[in-house]
Amino acid sequence: MISLVVGLGNIGEEYQGTRHNVGFDVLNEICRRWKLAPREGDGDFFLVEKEIGDRIVRLIWPTTFMNNSGLAVVQAVQQFGVTADEVLIVCDEYQLPLGTMRFRRGGSDGGHKGLSSVIFEMETDAIARLRLGIGPLPADSDAVAFVLGRFTEAELKITQKVLEKGADGVLYSLHNRFEEAMTVYNRNPAPDEA
C-alpha cells in the first residue's frame, strides 16, 4: 500500500498558485483536513507524518525545485525504508484537460521534468502517480511559461474542485489498494462537474 506521498512543485512564494504547483496544493489540502502543518524534514523536503492503521504515512514537499525532485524522493525512501511500490507522486499534467485526473501505476515521464527526475534517481518508472490536468496547452504557447503561470479566474473554480478530488483520491489510496483507486477515480468529468 502507499505510505509515502510526494507532491511535486517549486518552493517559494513566487511559485504559489502556479499550475506547476498543484502537487503541493493537493498535499496542502490533505493537511488542512488532517489539521496538521508541514515541518522541515531531515533532508531536502518538508514533511507531515500521520498514523493510519498500523503504519505511518508520510507526505513530503521537495525543496529541491521541480527539476531535481528525485533527489528528495530518494532521501525520503532511504530514510523511511519504503520501496518504490509504496510511493505515490502527485503532479501536474498539461496534456490532460483542466478538471481531470489520472492515477497510473507507472510509465514514462510524459515530458514532466519533475517526474523525469524521480524516475532517474529511483532508477525505475514503476512508480505510482496521480496526474492532475492543467491543460490543454494553448497553441503557440511556451510550455515552461504556461506551467509557471497562474490559473485564470474562470479556471480557479474548476481547479479548487479538482484539488479537493485529488486529495480525496490520495486519501482513498492510503486506505485501499492502488488499483481500486484507479478504478474509482480514473474518469473524465466535464470541467464544470470536476
Would you kindly state where each structural domain of the chain is located, as residue ranges? 4-193
Cell of 182: 484507479
Asked whether 101 and 130 are in contact (CB, 8 A), the reply is yes
20 assigned to active site: yes
Give, for all 194 residues of the chain, the pLDDT tens digit: 999 999 999 999 999 999 999 999 999 999 999 999 999 999 999 999 999 999 999 999 999 999 999 999 999 999 999 999 999 999 999 999 999 999 999 999 999 999 999 999 999 999 999 999 999 999 988 999 999 999 999 999 999 999 999 999 999 999 999 999 999 999 755 444 44
> 520501496: which residue's cell?
83
Q: Are 102 and 131 in contact (CB under 8 A)?
A: yes
Distance CA 155, CA 159 (A): 6
Supply 86's cell numbers.
509504496
Instruction: Please answer whether residues 89 and 128 qualify as being in contact, where contact means their C-beta atoms are separated by less than 8 angstroms.
Output: yes
* Residues forming beta bridges with residue 60, ordered by sequence position: 6, 47
Whole-structure pTM value: 0.95
| Among 19, 20, 112, 165, the one annotated catalytic | 20
CATH level 3 topology of 4-193: Rossmann fold (3.40.50)
